[in-house]
Chain A
Amino acid sequence: MSPALQTALALAIVAVAAAWLAARALSRRRKPGCGGDCGCAPGDLKGKIARGGRG
């Protein structure tokens, strides 16, 4: 693969990634909060934490 083609493909991938990040930042979330992206505990685990382990 020629260096020029590599550069074109790499820049295209960067453009897609940047567009996706921008769209994600600008879109309104349907569900409030992080949507799980921050690596936080899922809802039922949070609930269990809050309840001290009881369902």
Chain B
Amino acid sequence: MSAPAPRTPGAAKAPVYAIVGNPNCGKSTLFNALTGLKQKVGNYPGVTVEKKTGTLYSQHGQPITIIDLPGAYSLAARSPDEAVTRDVLLGRRVDTAQPDRVLCIVDATNLERNLYLVHQVLDLGRPVILVLNMMDLAARAGISIRVARLSQLLGIPVIPCEAVNAKGIIELKLAISRHDLPLPRHAWDIPAPIAPAVAELQASLVANGGKAPLIARAEALLLLTDQDSVRVAGSAPLDAKTQEILRSWQARWEAQGTDWAGTLVSSRYEAIGRLSSEVAQSAGLSAQSLSDRIDAVVIHPLWGWVVLATVMTLLFFSIFKFAQAPMDWIGEGNAALAGWIRGLMPDGDLRSLLTDGVIGGVGTIVTFLPQILILFFFIGLLENTGYMARAAFIMDRLMSRVGLNGKSFIPLLSSYACAIPGIMATRTIEDPKDRLVTILVAPLMSCSARLPVYLLMIAALFPGPAYPIAGKVAIMVIMYALGTVGAFGFAWLFKHTLLRGKPPLMIMELPPYRLPRIRDVLLHMVERAGLFLKNAGTVILAISIVLWLLATYPKSPAGSTATEQLAHSFAGRAGHMIEPVIRPIGFDWHIGIGLISSFAAREVFVSTMGVVFNSESGGEDTASLRHALGAARWPDGRALFTPLVCVTLMVFYVFAMQCMSTIAVVRRETNTWRWPLFQTAYMTGAAWIICFIVYQSGTALGF
């Protein structure tokens, strides 16, 4: 299959724009501002990189397609994301037409660094619009940019912009609507010894690859610097003749012992340096900004950890302090609803399904909504202020000591919300071994699905308001820390056994601090509430209904007690079947039912306990699950949910791989069943062993 024919640059009809820029430059915000809800999200075929396209209408009402390309520092690709950006711009992808025009987004606070990619894009010879984003932050940092002079030097429109405040968007739309966008005019003298190599490769790409002369020249320059090292599926390969020419030049330079590729990069940097010094001026460079002064404490090797621990403690304190009243209201609402249904219907299966299955399952999980909302409100605040990047910086020090790639931080951080986006975020890690280690340990970070389990166990551990919040907070912090330490420990183990290798260095940007935009934070919180309720109202509802059947059928002989009925049921038999395995860690068959059902998703454990203990109470009351757990007994009359069992159960959920969706995603990302099966085995095995140690040690010590 051949690459699609390039469009005529600046075509008058339905032009396609590509948005390119460095990571963190505000590219996605601008894409959203330009296209609104008119977006399509998919994947580039054969490669796990997200493809986002949207439609913008010009001032004349003409539809304009916009492709949001993955962030890149340079077209010399180092990761699959960057390779996709490079390939789309060079017209190498058979599934994506080469864009007619390019919107280059740069972070005005880091102009010089961002101009490297712009410089490479200008080589393509396509109409380019340069967007200077974050002008407000640049002004605050004392950086002034001569926009008109920059436009004059590059020969392209330059639009100052503040994407987050929607400033400059109209001017940008007007520029995009222009039919007569000029071609770039930028002077860059390629070092003389390299010029013959560029010319030969360019001629070959035109003759053998069917490329336009300017695109061929840009590609020749790129081939000489990145050696065509990173290729992804869907990328049209180089023709044999060009490959031969490239290899011969590489061999010639190696024989000469000269690094012309490095020289080429340096000469580009020199050109950018001259340009930057002419258009940008920074006032008060020597003075420390407010962000710098705050960072002196927040990312300090000692105080940074103190601040992080304080922030986490405050976060969990807020969860326990402010959520209790609304949780009680929801619990009372559940009980009132169940009572109303009982008053309405005589005893029977439908009534039992509604009160024990639906209200017992879904109602119980919805009780945790206030705590989840508070958690995400604070996470939103931390993101908005810029603190999250500092937390990443602090953690990176620790991660590098266990051999984790610095780029693993974002996937691991995302895994605190959910392991699935975390695992998908590992696509940015270039080294396959580092990526695999990160995938293997990401599900150990305590995701939000574990939160209801922790909260239920903490409620059983410290029933009632008489117990101090500090104890509850401490347990929660310990569980989160345990997951993190576990992830780092296993990463260290894998990096020193199965997947040896040296981690590369990571470069991380620390954005300036800013006041949080409460509206954004609240919006995200509402989105979270919607997702949580959707999940409770669909998947958890369906699982609770099926679980009710499994806990109710087959019916035991008439006159049996509720406990005998549950033991006689399908769920009870399954619980009994695994009891010999889980008894050494303090769990009985009731908990066994929860462990089996929560293999679908961890939070299902809570709804399962709701169904199981409501069924066992014979449907006569829907006392809060907390009290039901407190009343649960072993056959010999001992309490089931002792403090030690509650802690052991939490530890089990910290380590065990109780998530079908995560297993499926690991299968897809690693393209084999070997790694998800290994991951399930090591995590569940580790969970059992650690729980055994905790429970048996605790029992021996008299807890």
Show the binding face of A for B, using Cβ within 8 Å: 1-3, 5-7, 9-11, 13-14, 17-18, 20-21, 24, 31-34, 36-55
Contacts and interface: CB of A to CB of B under 8 A. Distances in A.
A53 B386 contact: yes
Contact of B24 (A2, A11, A51): A51
A50 B543 CA distance: 33
B545 A14 contact: yes
Contact of B26 (A17, A45, A54): A54
B534 A36 contact: yes
Given A38-B420, A53-B384, A46 B425 contact: yes
A35 B449 CA distance: 15
Contacts of B543: 21
Contact of A54 (B24, B41, B346, B534): B24
A25 B420 CA distance: 16
Given A6-B345, A14-B549, A52-B392, A37 B535 contact: yes
Most buried by B among A36, A40, A48: A40
Contact of B531 (A24, A33, A39, A52): A39
B542 A17 contact: yes
Consensus secondary structure, chain B interface: helix
Interface of B: 23-24, 26, 28-29, 32, 41-43, 48, 163-164, 345-353, 372, 376, 380, 382-390, 392, 410, 413-414, 417-418, 420-421, 424-425, 447-449, 509-511, 514, 524, 527-528, 531-532, 534-535, 538-539, 541-543, 545-546, 548-549, 601, 603, 659, 661, 665, 668
A45 B270 CA distance: 37
B28 A41 contact: no
Contact of A21 (B24, B28, B542): B542
Contact of A38 (B48, B449, B541): B449
B353 A13 contact: yes
A3 B661 contact: no
Contacts of A7: 348-350
A11 B340 CA distance: 22
A45 B559 CA distance: 54
Given A7-B349, A32-B424, 10 more contacts: A1-B346, A3-B346, A21-B539, A33-B424, A33-B665, A38-B449, A38-B535, A40-B418, A40-B447, A41-B418
B28 to A, nearest CB: 6
Nearest to A29: B664
A40 B672 CA distance: 24
A52 B511 contact: yes
Contact of B528 (A2, A41, A54): A41
Given A40-B418, A54-B26, A32 B163 contact: no
B163 A55 contact: yes
A9 B380 CA distance: 44
A54 B511 contact: yes
B43 A39 contact: no
A38 B661 contact: yes
